[in-house]
Structure 1
């Protein structure tokens, strides 16, 4: 079994590292596009609302998954976390499409709210890049049956992933008046 895991690591680890680098780079490039192509014909509010809903649902699933893990209901934990991962993948695909489709909308708030918004936004962005490899490695270790390694990395993954999901909702709420 150990040889199988090690041979799987030879493929999985480089794929995870490659995705962990590619995803933030692609998002950054798309944010810097000189021109947008709204080939879906969406309104400015459609994507952010969808993203807010996905982030909210992900945060709920993360809490439920944490509960199942604490209750030692590991099958339910696995299924819930796979669902949270699925929503995050849908979010990422949708987010890429939104960056291609719509011009960035500037935040119009003033005073202390502006500082709070930018603190939340900056920490959300930085941790969004960090969470990609954490989630991928956590999922891989859990699904490959390496539960000790899974638990060790999940201690870091869960709070960061939860923070990213919750702050995604907050960013939407802060920006809602400006869409």
Structure 2
């Protein structure tokens, strides 16, 4: 039985590694590609910013649910957060494949604040991919103790990424050409 769990965990870890490397590379490649003659999808940023906001809210509710012993609700909320994060990523890439990059127009200290938030958001959004996948996989491996340990690190990073996604949108939205 232990070998079966070990083999399952090894397969999960292989997939987590592949996905954690492939997603940022594919996003970076697609981010730099513009679809010729495509109509800009300027309506997407407020939608994917809203998805980030909903993800943040659901993450908090999911933690409250598990602390109150509502495991099924917690699992449904966390699965929804993963789906929302995937939808965000698809919309984000689609927007950037059809639209020119919007430059932040603020000046002075606020400009440095914006770029600090943006950079930490980007770096942590890359690191949250394996964290979420590892944390989520522990449930399927019936390793709830490891799940809890990983979640202590994954939750605040994922929450930060979701919240700063909204903040970045609010700060740059006055400079969108649409």
TM-score (norm 2): 0.93
Q: 1:37·1:102 contact (CA, 8 Å) conserved in 2?
A: no
Q: How many positions carry a matched residue from both structures?
A: 176
2:4 aligned residue: 4
1:102-113 pair list within 5 angstroms: 102-113=99-110
1:1-179 pair list within 5 angstroms: 1-33=1-33, 35-37=34-36, 39=38, 41-44=39-42, 46-179=43-176
The runs of 5 or more residues in structure 1 that have no matched partner are none
> In structure 2, how many angstroms separate the alpha carbons of the residues matched to 1:26 and 1:127?
17
Deviations 1:11-69 (A, max 9, x none): 21111101101111112222333x44464x3442x121111111000001001001011
75 and 116 in structure 1: CA distance in 2 versus 1, 3 angstrom threshold = same
Superposition RMSD on alpha carbons, in Å?
A: 1.4
> In structure 2, how many angstroms separate the alpha carbons of the residues matched to 1:56 and 1:91?
11
> In structure 2, how many angstroms separate the alpha carbons of the residues matched to 1:6 and 1:177?
51
> In structure 2, how many angstroms separate the alpha carbons of the residues matched to 1:11 and 1:49?
37
Deviations 1:136-160 (A, max 9, x none): 1111112332101111110000000
Deviations 1:102-154 (A, max 9, x none): 11110011111101100100000000000000001111112332101111110
The runs of 5 or more residues in structure 2 that have no matched partner are none
